Structure 1
Amino acid sequence: MEEGTSKSPSNCASTVDYGDADPFQWDTREDCQVRQILDRVADKWSLLVIALLDNRRLRFTELRREIDGVSQRMLTVTLRQLERDGLVKRTVHPVVPPRVEYELTPLGGTLHATIQSLVTWTEQHQQEIAQAREAYDKREAEPV
C-alpha cells in the first residue's frame, strides 16, 4: 500500500490496484463503488422503505405514515435514490389528483431477502449482543 493511503472503511484508497485482492477489502477498490452502494442501501430510511415495499405497492403518504420520524424531504430523497439505483419502481397513474405508487423492482426484491437474513440473524443473537454490551459497560465503569 502506498504511503498515505488508508485501508479504513471510511477512506477510499483508489491509488492502489490490487487486481484479485481479497473481496472483503472493498474499500481499496477504485471509486469505492461497493461502499457507495452499501451506504445507499444500508442507511436508516432505505432499509425501512425496502422492508415496507415487500410484495406490495404503497403511495408516498402511506410510506410516510408507516415510517416514524421521516420527514417529507428525506423520504422524497430516499425514494429518488432507490429509484435511481434500480431498487424501487415509481408509477404515476394519469388520474386527477395524480396518484403515485412505489414498489420494489426484482433487484430490490433480492435486496429485501438479504435484509431479511440480517434481521433474522439479529433476532437470533440479540441476547448475546445485549450480554456483551452489559459486560463491556461493566468493565468500562470499573475504576482503573
Structure 2
Amino acid sequence: MADDVERCRAALKRCPSGHSDRSSSLNNLAVSLGGRFKQRGVPSDLDESIELHRSALLLRPPGHSLRSSSLNNLAASLGDRFRQRGVTSDLDERIELHRSALLFRPPGHSERSRSLNNLAASLGHRFRQRGVPNNHGGCDVHSVELA
C-alpha cells in the first residue's frame, strides 16, 4: 500500500494545476491514502485523503461526468472519520454529499440504487446516533424506490 501511495504522489506531481488529469490524480491518491488508513489506522492518512477528495471535487463542478463519484468518495471518507472520531458534522456532511450525488443519478441510472443505499445507511446512522425520528429527512420516499 505504501508503494501505491508513493506512485500516486508521483503521478500527482506530474499533473500541476490546470492539467486535465489533475482531478483523477487527486482522487487516486485520496483513495490510496484511504486504503492505507484502513490497513494501518494512521489518522493523518484519513485527514489527507479527505482534503484530497475535497480538492478533486472542486475540479469536478456540476455537469462533470465524475462529480457524483467524487461526491460519494468524499462521503465515504467522511464516514470513515465519523466512525473513528464520532464527529457529528462529518456524518451530517456525508448525508448532504450523498443527497447531492443522488441528484446526478436519476431513476434508471446504473448507480442510483447504490446512491440510495448509501444515503439510507447514512440516515440510519444519524437516526441511531440522535434517536430523533424526523432526522430521516425523506428516507421513506427513497426506500420505497429501492423496493
Higher helix content, 1 or 2: 2
| TM-score, normalisation: structure 2 | 0.29
Higher relative contact order (CA 8 A, sep 6+): 1
